[in-house]
Structure 1
Amino acid sequence: MAHGTPPVVDDRVPVAEVHAPHAHTPYIPPDKSPAEMTIRGLVLGSVLGIVFAASSVYLAIKVGLTVSASIPVAVLSIAIFRALGNSSILENTIVQTTGSAGESLAFGVAAALPALLLLGYDISLTHAFLTAALGGVLGVLMMIPLRQGLIVQEHGKLAYPEGTASADVLIVGEQGGTNARTVILGFLVGGIYKFAYAGMKLFREVLSTPLKGLKSATMSTEVSPELLGVGYIIGPKVAGITFAGGVLSYLILIPAISFFGSGLNEPLLVHNGQLIRDMSPDQIRNAYVLYIGAGAVATGGLISLIRSLPTIIGAFKRSVETLRASRTQGAAPQLLRTEQDLPITVVLVGSALLILAIWLAPPLEVNFISAILIVIFGFFFVTVSARITGEIGSSSNPISGMVVATLLVTCLVYLLLGWTSSEDRFMALTTAAIVGIAASNGGTTAQDLKTAFLVGGTPRRQQVALFVGVLTSAMFIGLVLVTLNRGATATIPEPHPGVKVSEMTEETRVQHTFAWAVSPDALASRGLDEAALRKAVWAQGFELNTQGGALELRSWRDVTAQDLAAVTLSPTGGKQVKVSELGAVTQGPQRTYKEGYVRGADTPVPAGKYLVDEAGTIQYVVDPGIGGRISAYEGQPLTRYAAPKAQLFSLIIDGILTQRLPWDLVLLGVFIALMLELCGVSALPFAVGVYLPISSTAPIFVGGVVRYIVDRVRGGSAAESEFSPGTLLSSGFIAGGSIAGVLIAFLEIATDGAGTRALNLPATLGHEGGLGGFLNAVGESELAHPLWSNLWGLLFFAGLTFFLLRSALKGPSAAVAPPPHKGA
């Protein structure tokens, strides 16, 4: 930009540079009124918005990023309506507007609400819906009076890169261009590829190998289509910085902690008393490096916000001035179609109703003071966000910094008022989440209004479409978040004698038990021991427990002894065997456990949900899929979503309100971030890399390398725009891979795990020769060969990477319209 490079943030992946601003000439003149806000347009926009919102939720809890949905939605809208017959550019604009609303909500919801799990709460569907809907509506309402000042009067001064790029795509599509096949192809390839390894387990999701000569050092990578696509879109610089953070964690910090801590005979920090020398690299990361990473992320976010303060203050002043000027000019007797906004009464009445809804809605548990804070911060940050996205684009809009600032001020106010209970922490997070969603949606709404301004859309119709997009997406975003969490939640034995839960609920869980008369001879004849048997039983969704020397099978599913006897086990190092072949199974007593939560500052166990027996003793932890602390059990890896932003927000709340943090580790992260800034390196993407598993940052780096090659061959940023074939294919990868992950989670819940176990081909076919033996050797299996399974998975990932490279180099850009003789 003219005054230097804007700060790099990681809330949105960057987009291409926009061309220089030009004089406003609407593509559709005000005196023409083609079809615009149609029922089919609102329906298609809502459906596409839900799809991309789901993929954004998936991506946000996995790596703390989201991808702009505006361009893919616009491209798909043009293609779908063209296949149905015909459409106008204004109808496609309504679809693009409606669809893009979901992504902006998804980031705020998925970044903030998982922190509830880390504070010892569940994510409620009603709470998630209200947070998303009220925050989104707040963002749209605040932008209605700002449109005249920011979009109209500041035209030629505020570029709005994403909004201008969307207008370019819509105009080119009207002239016969765009290549929706690229997005659709990416969606199909990404979805099938994801289903192949995440559902059918045909190859491993994470390829990993220890590095000899450096204790506890590991290199690993996911073979993820969505992360490959993210890396391509953000480009080589940010992808490289993020991967460097992973290198620091896994090749420097973890080996250093292991080296210096291996001689300690006392545990440090960890709740279970485990010694460092007994920890795996992932356990060291969870116990120590996460705090370092959180300190670095918080510092990077605050530096980004501080660096943006002059822009924020100036943006707010200019926005207020232009708003005042636009309101004192008076309205013309007959407004042109392109100048008609929703009346100011809608804004005033809507804002009043919004305050009441936030205050009085029981699931939010927000008091009047917090409702006032939401309105104040919401107005300020929506105004700021709308201006910043116009000046430097959504990719440099520090939404996380705004949420952090809201959290800091809110928690300090609470601390002064003596509000430090777990309920107050819940309220603080809800306050910050609504503000973050409003700010995020305000920036996206401004981009959409700019698009309509350039193509000649009707503002009031677009504002109605924004409300529709917000409400329809809000209904599904919470469902996707809850589904992903529940689908990966694991109930794991973890007794804590003498520890009481903070809050007991009325919810209960029934456990079915079965006596299993396994003879030592039956095990010995098959070369099995109890440990191998325990792993094989767990792989089938059951628990093996020793009760007074006798074996007992436990299940949370309502099964009979006959059902259990027919289950086939695939023990490591042995042949497949049915449960009944090892010993008779007889029905035992049912046990009832109550659900309870551990919360607060002075708890000897981590905050979370637990199951307690009739005596009130904790027996199981219900470890969530999002932010869960247990990554594997009985040799089986568990699906876990890192949720880096949620971890950061919970750290801030705990740090201020409970004043109980390992500040030594947090401050290490703080000074790592400061060191990077002094070296001229943006700290935030690096800090996120420190926080994430290196397996997540490695495929992002690969995508960045592919982008680097394409830029060099095709001529750099001038050729690689927001609607280039590589970007469109990457968007398809992200959406397809993410949606496949969501569908697998739905299947896990709907079938209580039976459906996903049936899809698991290595386990279903067994490991005794033939195809089953091959898949167990190279697929996602406990029997996988360390070398060949890595090479097999790497082969698939290399193929996907080459496909992206070839398509990005050879494919036509959506920005190029076909020759006139080919027609529309």
Structure 2
Amino acid sequence: MSASAPAVPQLSLRAIILSMLLAMILAAANAYLGLFAGLTIATAIPAAVVSMAVLRVLGGGSILENNIVQTGASAGSSIAAGVIFTIPALIILGYWHDFKYSWVLAIAGLGGLLGVLFSVPLRRTMIVEDPLAFPEGKAAAEVLKAGENPGGGVKTLAFAGVVGSLIKLAAASGLKLIPDAAIGSTFFGRYFAFMGTNLSPALLGVGYIVGLNVGIVVVAGSILSWNIAIPIYHAYFLNSDPELAAKIAGAGAADIGYAIWNAKIRYLGVGAMLIGGIWTLFSLRKSLASGIKSGLAAARKNVGAAAIAEVDRDLPMKWMLIALVVFTIPLALLYQAIVANWLVSIPMTLIMIVAGFLFVSVSGYLAGLVGSSNNPVSGITIATILFASMVLIVLLGRDSPIGAVAAIMIGAVVCCAAAVGGDNLQDLKAGYLVGATPWKQQLMLCIGAFSCALVMAPVLNLLAAAYGIGAPTPEHPNALAAPQANLMASVAKGMFGGHLPWTMIELGAVIGALTIALDEWLKKRGSSFRVPVLGAAIGIYLPLELMVPIFLGGLLNHLVARKHPDAVSEEARDRIHQPGTLFSAGLITGEALTGIIIAIPIVVSGRADVLALPDTFQFGQFVGLIVLAVVAWLLYRSGAKAQG
């Protein structure tokens, strides 16, 4: 690594503008995807490919300019994750009826900025002195180094984006040419039977990105809910709930299944996610302690600015401390606006600062070990909400009507900070490998994070008005599930005396514990197949039809890999899957952005079917299955063209 300052431009005006645009677009897409399927996708590599193509059109860009663009744009996934995991809980709890722009901006923007600040001291320890793997940072660096000819990647992204966009436009929320899902349900005596698949290309792309192992785990969780738990509950326990039995009397098989799932069975997933989050933190306790120790040690270091080379220069510590105070004051005022008691809002602010720094350290360490995509940010947020709730119970009382909201507000800032902090270190790893200047990357991620925060509230309001968020209602029968936000709301509500189906939550915790035991057994056997409890819990919590295309996408990933049996190294496997990964990212982005665009006329007109064509132009489930099969073939062909 050269000690001299890079002579090529990095923070150019065109790179900043392009990065901000990509960050906002990808944040909106990830918000839709996360509320829909409980998952977000990493955005650094697609952003790098787009950047290389755009800057080439504008006269050519250096590898360091492209690195700056992907650094800022990568905030699109981290800010979106931090927001959708927590803030919709305020709608679910009934505290908000819509997303307040200034509040969302403060939570997401300031939380993201704190995440960058808290992660700056970690760079030297985790990347330079005692380097961790940071797999996605390494992958982004390889894409940047190999970016001499990005045209093929851009064409793949663009074509897949058009495919995803057209199918979303043709689906039930748009022209209604094809349905959103192909579903079959019936009763065999008193036993409920259900099978189906969503026809979303985005979910197929998600499955390809996460792989077959995760695809099997999430679909198995849904099968447990829909083909085991719901039939058992309907056959043997429905009569013990007269209110639910009366509600579904005379309904069709599918409506009965969804009613039982919504009222009872989905809480199995809540219990499994709760025990899974706690176990994840416990099982990584040594790594967590090491991450916190590294963060504290790095924060104590005081290296003179004159002694630091340009390629090793972070944001100045003095300005970081000033910024920390400046960013914390608005959050303290926000907490005061909620509880109207400085004796409560000041402890809330202190909890947020301490938990923010500790969990950014944890998030950064785990991102270095397993990557940002596998970083258990939801588990970190659960731990924050549980700890904050215990303190707030002392200050406010268990029956406080505002206690759950206050806990969610603390968790939301910490979640945004932890998500951005882990992502920042991935970007700094990529920058370290290509010779970038750290402080310029850190500044760019601050800009990218705040740019994303500017658009989150309008996007969330648009999605909530058009599709609904949380439990299905007569007005929004296919509401966006927002699984993590539902979990956070359930945890906070339960801590403050809320009425929840605790029997189901406890049974879900038992299922989660058995899943953990199975995973530990597989680990001891050295099995390459694992059963991550949080993946299984998401499958339990969400409808089966959402998990089936994720499984199919993972199967396509496996079939592509089998065409290259000689690729044994991680780098070779990444090269094989890169075209398929770009195609998947295009499907996801195209569908998600079109879903947001379609929401505009729905909200303006007040009609969910405003774009629908007459019935004579509407086709059934069979045509939808054919369309999904064609998309699957295109995805497989894209991946199979990779060169070993």
When normalised by structure 2's length, the TM-score is 0.91
- One of 754, 777, 793 as aligned partner of 2:624: 793
Residue type at the aligned position of 1:410 = A
> How far, CA to CA, are the matches of 1:110 and 1:282 in structure 2?
23
- One of 694, 699, 702 as aligned partner of 2:544: 694
Report the Cα offset of residue 471 of structure 1: 1.2
Residue in structure 2 matched with residue 808 of structure 1 by the alignment: 639
> How far, CA to CA, are the matches of 1:211 and 1:300 in structure 2?
33
Residue in structure 2 matched with residue 704 of structure 1 by the alignment: 554
Residue in structure 1 matched with residue 502 of structure 2 by the alignment: 663
> How far, CA to CA, are the matches of 2:394 and 2:458 in structure 1?
36
User: Is residue 343 of structure 1 aligned with residue 313 of structure 2?
Assistant: no
> How far, CA to CA, are the matches of 2:31 and 2:511 in structure 1?
29
- One of 20, 30, 48 as aligned partner of 2:22: 48
> How far, CA to CA, are the matches of 2:294 and 2:9 in structure 1?
35
Alpha-carbon contact 1:46-1:99 (below 8 Å) kept:
yes
> How far, CA to CA, are the matches of 1:266 and 1:318 in structure 2?
53
The 5 A counterparts of 1:572-651 are: 625-630=468-473, 632=474, 638-651=477-490
Alpha-carbon contact 2:335-2:349 (below 8 Å) kept:
no
> How far, CA to CA, are the matches of 2:146 and 2:267 in structure 1?
48
Task: Provide the aligned C-alpha RMSD in A.
Answer: 2.2
Residue type at the aligned position of 2:365 = R
Alpha-carbon contact 1:266-1:275 (below 8 Å) kept:
no
Report the Cα offset of residue 665 of structure 1: 1.3
Alpha-carbon contact 1:89-1:174 (below 8 Å) kept:
no
Residue type at the aligned position of 1:96 = Q
Q: The residue matched to 2:588 in structure 1 has which SS?
A: helix
Q: The residue matched to 2:176 in structure 1 has which SS?
A: coil
Residue type at the aligned position of 1:227 = L
Q: The residue matched to 1:112 in structure 2 has which SS?
A: coil
Residue in structure 1 matched with residue 420 of structure 2 by the alignment: 441
> How far, CA to CA, are the matches of 1:337 and 1:475 in structure 2?
31
After superposition, the C-alpha distances for 1:176-230 in whole angstroms (9 at most, x for unaligned) are 7862221222112111121111311111111101155373221111110111101
Residue type at the aligned position of 2:472 = R
Alpha-carbon contact 2:75-2:445 (below 8 Å) kept:
yes
The range that moved more, 160-169 or 173-182, is 173-182
Residue in structure 1 matched with residue 242 of structure 2 by the alignment: 267
> How far, CA to CA, are the matches of 2:114 and 2:5 in structure 1?
32
After superposition, the C-alpha distances for 1:144-184 in whole angstroms (9 at most, x for unaligned) are 222222222223xx111111111111111147786222122
Residue type at the aligned position of 1:245 = G
> How far, CA to CA, are the matches of 2:435 and 2:594 in structure 1?
37
Which one has the bigger helix percentage?
2
Report the Cα offset of residue 273 of structure 1: 5.6
- One of 579, 597, 622 as aligned partner of 1:725: 579
When normalised by structure 1's length, the TM-score is 0.72
Residue type at the aligned position of 1:210 = S
Unaligned runs of 5+ in 1: 1-24, 489-624, 779-788, 814-824
Q: The residue matched to 2:314 in structure 1 has which SS?
A: coil
Residue type at the aligned position of 1:730 = S
> How far, CA to CA, are the matches of 1:254 and 1:283 in structure 2?
10
Which one has the bigger strand percentage?
1
Identity in percent: 34
Report the Cα offset of residue 423 of structure 1: 2.1
- One of 478, 485, 493 as aligned partner of 1:654: 493
Alpha-carbon contact 2:43-2:73 (below 8 Å) kept:
yes
User: Is residue 675 of structure 1 aligned with residue 514 of structure 2?
Assistant: yes
Higher RCO (CA < 8 A, seq sep 6+) = 2
Residue in structure 2 matched with residue 685 of structure 1 by the alignment: 535
Alpha-carbon contact 2:66-2:144 (below 8 Å) kept:
yes
Residue in structure 2 matched with residue 253 of structure 1 by the alignment: 229
CA pair 717-288 structure 1, distance change in 2 beyond 3 A: farther
Residue type at the aligned position of 2:641 = K
Residue in structure 2 matched with residue 734 of structure 1 by the alignment: 588
The 5 A counterparts of 1:5-404 are: 25=1, 30-122=4-96, 123-155=99-131, 158-174=132-148, 179-197=153-171, 198-211=173-186, 213=188, 215-261=191-237, 264=239, 267=242, 270=244, 274=247, 280-324=256-300, 326-327=301-302, 330-331=303-304, 333=306, 335-361=308-334, 365=338, 367-404=345-382
Report the Cα offset of residue 752 of structure 1: 3.1
Residue in structure 2 matched with residue 467 of structure 1 by the alignment: 446
CA pair 317-265 structure 1, distance change in 2 beyond 3 A: closer
Alpha-carbon contact 1:364-1:430 (below 8 Å) kept:
no
Alpha-carbon contact 2:106-2:330 (below 8 Å) kept:
no
Residue type at the aligned position of 1:207 = A
- One of 542, 560, 564 as aligned partner of 1:714: 564
> How far, CA to CA, are the matches of 1:449 and 1:677 in structure 2?
33
Report the Cα offset of residue 486 of structure 1: 1.2
Residue in structure 1 matched with residue 522 of structure 2 by the alignment: none
Residue in structure 1 matched with residue 525 of structure 2 by the alignment: none
Q: Paired residues, what number? A: 616
Q: The residue matched to 2:457 in structure 1 has which SS?
A: helix
Alpha-carbon contact 1:194-1:224 (below 8 Å) kept:
yes
Report the Cα offset of residue 333 of structure 1: 3.0
CA pair 237-119 structure 1, distance change in 2 beyond 3 A: same
Q: The residue matched to 1:216 in structure 2 has which SS?
A: strand
> How far, CA to CA, are the matches of 1:369 and 1:120 in structure 2?
25
Unaligned runs of 5+ in 2: 340-344, 520-530
Q: The residue matched to 1:460 in structure 2 has which SS?
A: helix
Report the Cα offset of residue 255 of structure 1: 0.9
CA pair 421-369 structure 1, distance change in 2 beyond 3 A: same
Q: The residue matched to 1:333 in structure 2 has which SS?
A: helix
> How far, CA to CA, are the matches of 1:363 and 1:208 in structure 2?
48
- The structure with the larger Rg is 1
Residue in structure 2 matched with residue 511 of structure 1 by the alignment: none
Residue type at the aligned position of 2:326 = L
Alpha-carbon contact 1:53-1:477 (below 8 Å) kept:
yes
